[in-house]
Amino acid sequence: MGLCKPANCDELENAKNSIYGVLSYIAPEVLRGKNYTKASDIYSFGIIIYEMISGLPPYHDIGHDKYLAIKICQGFRPRFNIKVPQLIVNLIKRCLDAEPLNRPIAKEIRSILWIWRMDDNLELMKQIKEAEKVNSIQPIPSTDLKLSFETHSEAIYTSRLLNFGDLPYPMIIMTIISTQFSGN
């Protein structure tokens, strides 16, 4: 996640209370100054799942600034540009829940992924086939097997000091993650 600090971090004023990382992967509670926890790692994992499924960097089309940090704290999450199986959407939503206690723990995620891996998971296979059918009708623009998209000039995917000051408390109910397709 890029959670690192400069080598001279101990010399920096307020280094203990500083947040370092890549904004789009940092959990809302961490943005508000709470410590990194296993639950905040699960949030980051949810963003990685989103990125793997969508093929897009999170929040690639908007600036990574204080306004994005505020929106994340208020419940804004990346959107899918494709049809995604509902079981996968549900797992991502749980990982990205604004309330850390509502996020699954690593053992639960491992168990879910193990069940999905099994050949007889008919529901996931049915959802994958349905998603593939919809996505084949409305394909994603691509060139040479790479997605074609433009990244906002202020979308920053390197670790840096994030000093946004007071941010709003995270909303308990996540409302934004969705797709452009009905049903997800």
Amino acid at 74: Q
| pLDDT score recorded for residue 182 | 40
Domain total in the chain: 1
Residue 89 in any domain: the answer is yes
pLDDT at 181 over 60: no
Q: Which residue has the higher pLDDT, 30 or 121?
A: 30
Residue 55, both tokens: 């093929």
Residue 144 in any domain: the answer is no
Contacts of 4 (CB under 8 A, 6+ apart): 20, 21, 159
Question: Which residues form the domain of 74?
Answer: 9-138+151-162
Sign (positive or negative) of CA dihedral 174, 176, 182, 184: negative
Instruction: Tell me if the pTM is above 0.75.
Output: yes
Q: What is the mean pLDDT of the chain?
A: 79
Residue 184 in any domain: the answer is no
Region 12-16 average pLDDT: 52
pLDDT tens for each residue of 97-146: 999 999 999 999 999 998 888 766 788 889 989 988 888 886 555 544 45
CATH number of the domain to which 32 belongs: 1.10.510.10
Residue 63 in any domain: the answer is yes
Residue 128 in any domain: the answer is yes
| pLDDT score recorded for residue 80 | 87
pLDDT tens for each residue of 143-159: 444 555 677 777 777 78
Cα separation values, 175 from 23, 27, 48, 55, 93, Å:
20, 16, 19, 22, 10
Q: Which residue has the higher pLDDT, 107 or 160?
A: 107
Residue 105 in any domain: the answer is yes
